[in-house]
């Protein structure tokens, strides 16, 4: 490797998630922040968070129910 061109590596860098979880791993920054981690991400927790904007979820569910009724006849 060439000398004096690579950033400083911090093997004990601290990562802090928005949920409050803290992790230690290597990085080129001493302190890092993240919005999601395995402690709060819906894929890992199994909790689905649906953000309903202007009733779109209800509209979708209503269309889905109507289409199921049509296909069953």
Report the C-alpha gap between 11 and 23 in whole angstroms.
12
Among 48, 22, 18, which residue's Cα sits nearest to residue 34? Answer: 18
pTM: 0.53
Any residues with CB less than 8 A from the CB of 53 and at least 6 apart, and which? Answer: none
Look at 11-15, 19-23, 65-69 and tell me which has the smallest mean pLDDT.
65-69
pLDDT score recorded for residue 49: 65
Q: What is the CATH number of domain 1-46?
A: 4.10.80.400
Per-residue pLDDT of 15-65, as tens digits, reads 999 889 999 999 999 999 998 888 888 777 777 766 666 778 888 888 998
User: How many other C-beta atoms lie within 10 A of the C-beta of residue 32?
Assistant: 15
């Amino acid at each position: 490797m060439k000398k004096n061109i690579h950033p400083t590596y911090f093997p004990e860098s601290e990562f802090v998630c928005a949920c409050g979880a803290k992790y230690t791993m290597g990085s080129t920054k001493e302190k890092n922040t993240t919005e999601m981690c395995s402690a709060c991400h819906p894929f890992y927790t199994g909790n689905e968070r649906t953000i309903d904007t202007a009733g779109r979820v209800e509209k979708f569910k209503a269309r889905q129910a109507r289409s199921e009724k049509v296909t069953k006849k």
